[in-house]
Amino acid sequence: MSEPRFKQAAQHLFEGHRRGERFSPLPAELAPHTAEAAYAIQDAFVALRAGERGAIAGYKIALSSAAMRRLVGVEHPQAGILFESAFLRSPAAVRAADYQRLIVEFEIAVQMAEDLPAADAPFSRERVAQAVGAVMPALELADDRHADYAELARHPFELIADNTWNEGVVLGYPVSEWRALELAAVRGRATVNGEPVGEGVGADAMGHPFNSVAWIANHLAAHGRGLLRSDTVITGSLITSKQVRPGDLVRFSVDGLGDVELRVD
């Protein structure tokens, strides 16, 4: 695909979001057939949305579990960006009417305290640990726009192009004394309206949350970019995503890290 095609595909996505259209594959002449083409579309799409949503302030990892990758039909996780305007602090509230179909994921977020520049790649989990400033529970806000998941599996790179559906994140209180915790073993528990809806452990995010951060840092480095001081990375859901509706109260607690809360109006 040429650069004009990347931009045309991004414009198509941008206009679909603005019109509130259901998620569907891009037209054949604009559809990405490789991850690299999809990331080029994502870059152009993010540039279009940045005028409304502000600067890039972090990153997310999608399909961090092997089961989810098998469902969508890809071999590797996928990366997306987080806009600074989309960061909320717990307790937070959003309106369901602002989304087509709001889904929530239950994650561990990591805030960086130093840069991981592209020139220093590749990065290991141990190197990431040296650069982490704080860790906290998080709820990712995503909008699947009523996607047909079976159709998505036939077009596995479309999720990348659409910035992996991210529409924001709710962060808990940042914990700077995280080194006393074994983050692979911490248990997270989710409830909706007080009823348990799932639990998982830190290892459910690629074996360790910092493995996810290392993957993001290496992904960025491969594209000539660095993970920067104060960037926030959400590291993959420990629990299967949940669709939420008006009136729902969502809580996610992680041992040693506290909890995060979202009300849906």
- CATH number of the domain bearing residue 167: 3.90.850.10
Is 129 within the bounds of a domain? yes
Is 3 within the bounds of a domain? no
Is 46 within the bounds of a domain? no
Measured CA to CA, the distance from residue 38 to residue 157 in angstroms comes to 6
Structural domain total, the chain = 1
Measured CA to CA, the distance from residue 48 to residue 40 in angstroms comes to 13
* Residues 153-180, mean pLDDT to the nearest whole number: 94
The domain in which residue 65 lies consists of 57-264
Measured CA to CA, the distance from residue 30 to residue 10 in angstroms comes to 9
Q: Percent of the chain having pLDDT more than 90?
A: 86
pLDDT, position 70: 73
Query: Lowest-pLDDT range, 22-26, 141-145, 149-153?
Result: 149-153
Asked if the model's pLDDT at residue 71 lies above 70, the reply is no
Is 160 within the bounds of a domain? yes
- The pLDDT-based confidence of 2 (bands split at 50, 70, 90) is low
- CA dihedral 33→36→39→43, nearest 10 degrees, is -120
pLDDT one-digit tens code per residue, 79-119: 999 999 999 999 999 999 999 999 999 999 999 999 999 99
Asked if the model's pLDDT at residue 130 lies above 80, the reply is yes
Is 185 within the bounds of a domain? yes
* Residues 125-143, mean pLDDT to the nearest whole number: 97
Cβ(198)–Cβ(240) under 8 Å? yes
Is 207 within the bounds of a domain? yes
Is 23 within the bounds of a domain? no
Is 109 within the bounds of a domain? yes
Name the token pair of 196: 């348990």
